[in-house]
Every structure is written in structure tokens, then in C-alpha cells.
Amino acid sequence: TIRTALLPPHHHLKFARGIGGPHLIICPLSVLSAWMSEIRRFCPSMRALKLHSSDQEERKRLMTSLASAGSDVDCVVTTYEMAKSPETARCLSMTWWRYLVIDEGHVIKNDASLISQSVRKVHFAHALLLTGTPLQNNLHELWALLNFLYPEVFPNSDAFDDAFELSKNQVDNAQ
């Protein structure tokens, strides 16, 4: 229905499709409060954990809460900064997430960046990259996104980069 099409992805998964969590949402700090607000508004029965703090003691408490809550949490919302933090990344990699949602997903287009390396260590069954920003620099960025979503299909960039050598105006259809 139209109503479920307008709901956040984690709500649709749990209530329309019957797919429980835990789900992990990684977003920019500027929209963290909006994600939490939308979860409370559209999914008041979902147990959501906001995993963000600049205070080290609060971070430890939140990660302890996440580790002890385990399957009791439907959705964890955190920021890129938290996901890049070694302690948080370690904690996030200990859970098997049903869905990983990356808001502004183009942030992982550089496969060598710290955020890209951190989210690649997270274990998940499915991923959703939300982005409205087109790739502008090169096709290697496209490979990085495809590799994140389908690592078994796009295991390394060599064949992909060779197949799309656009600086020479060549595309190798055999690759």
C-alpha cells in the first residue's frame, strides 16, 4: 500500500514482511536525530538504540547495553564517526545484522577510506545504500560500491578497472 511505501525500511521489514532485526543504520550525525524521531513516530513498538556519544564513558555504557541487549534490539542507529571508532566497530562486528542501511551510502565509494573499511567488517545478511549523489570521479568508485554489496561477484577491482578503461575510450565486453 501507499502507507507502507512511505515508512522507513526497518518498519516495512518488521511489520509488512515479518523480517525481524536487528537492523543497523549508519548515518551522518546531522540526521541521527531525524532517524530516531522517525522510528519513534512510525514504529513506536520497535526497540531502537541510539549508539552515539562523544563521552567515552557513555560510549562504553552504550556498547555494553548493545552487547547485553543482543536480540532485544530491533534497530541500532549510529553515525559514521562511531562506526569508524575501533571500539564501536569491534562491537558492531560481533552482531549478525539482518539489514545494514547506510544513509548517504556514497560515503563508502572510496574503498580505502576508514568508514569503508569499518563497514566492510560488519556482518549482515542484506544491505541498503541510500544515496542521491551520483558517482562523479571514476568507475573505480562504482566498483567499490558493487564490491560492498556483492563481494563474491566483484572480488577485486583489477578486472573491473581493466574492462572499463575510459581514459582510452575502451570498454572490454569480454570482461
| 55 has a pLDDT exceeding 50 | yes
Alpha helices, DSSP H, located in 55-122: 56-69, 80-84, 86-93, 114-119
Output the pLDDT for position 164: 74
Contact 26, 81 (CB under 8 A): no
Give the pLDDT confidence score for residue 169 in this predicted structure: 63
pLDDT value of position 137: 66
| Per-residue model confidence as pLDDT tens digits over 87-110 | 889 889 988 999 999 999 999 999
User: Which helix (H) or strand (E) element contains residue 138?
Assistant: none
pLDDT in tens, 110-130: 999 999 999 999 999 999 999
* Predicted structure pTM score: 0.82
What are the grid coordinates assigned to 123, written together?
A: 556482518
pLDDT for res 167: 67
